Amino acid sequence: MGAPDVLGHLRALGLTLAAEGSNIVVRPRQALTDEARQLIRAHKAELLAALTGTPDRLEPEEPGIGRKATAAGRYALSVDQDTHPEHVLVSMVIRGALPDGSAVSFELTIPREKYDPFALLAMVERYGVTVH
């Protein structure tokens, strides 16, 4: 798993990473889990290189809708946990998914109690993309 994949996992959790010298600052701090902390430690050098070498940051979308990924990451996610009381709405773009290098995008409605951002990204990594 490379830095873009790790950043994708962390973005799915709603975390924003920034490099400050040789440290990685994670926001919002209260959303940082032990699992995410371990992932960051295991890939710290790669993450620092990615964060300092590109403008790979999360930018706010509309209020209450979540965040969107920009720049060098392989995945771009928009997660809306506020619009529907029983579901999480996920829009995702996978860059370079097709043989010609183009991107694939899709939207999912996932029951709130079954939403697991790590499982979603692991499934995409494991099974790839099939375009119908």
Considering the chain, what percentage of its residues have pLDDT values greater than 70? 76
Domain final residue pick, 57, 79, 102: 57
pTM for this structure?
0.43
- Residue 132, in any domain of the structure: no
Give me the count of residues in the chain. 132
> Is the same domain home to 65 and 106?
yes
Same domain, 42 and 66: no
Domain, as residue range, for 41: 3-57
The model's pLDDT over 12-70, given as tens digits with 9 standing for 90+, comes to 888 888 888 888 889 888 888 998 999 899 888 888 877 776 333 334 444 444 444 43
Do residue 78 and residue 32 come from a single domain?
Answer: no
Q: What is the pLDDT of residue 128?
A: 63
According to the model, what pLDDT value does residue 23 have? 87
Amino acid at site 17:
L
Asked whether residue 22 is domain-assigned, the answer is yes
Does one domain contain both 52 and 70? no
Point out which residues pair with 89 in neighbouring strands.
Answer: 80, 109
Angle at 7 between CA 72 and CA 56, to 5 degrees: 35
Token representation of residue 6 = 């790790």
Tell me, yes or no, whether 95 and 46 share the same domain.
no
What is the rounded CA–CA span in Å between residue 100 and residue 12?
A: 26
Return the minimum-mean-pLDDT range out of 9-18, 69-78, 107-116, 120-129. Answer: 69-78
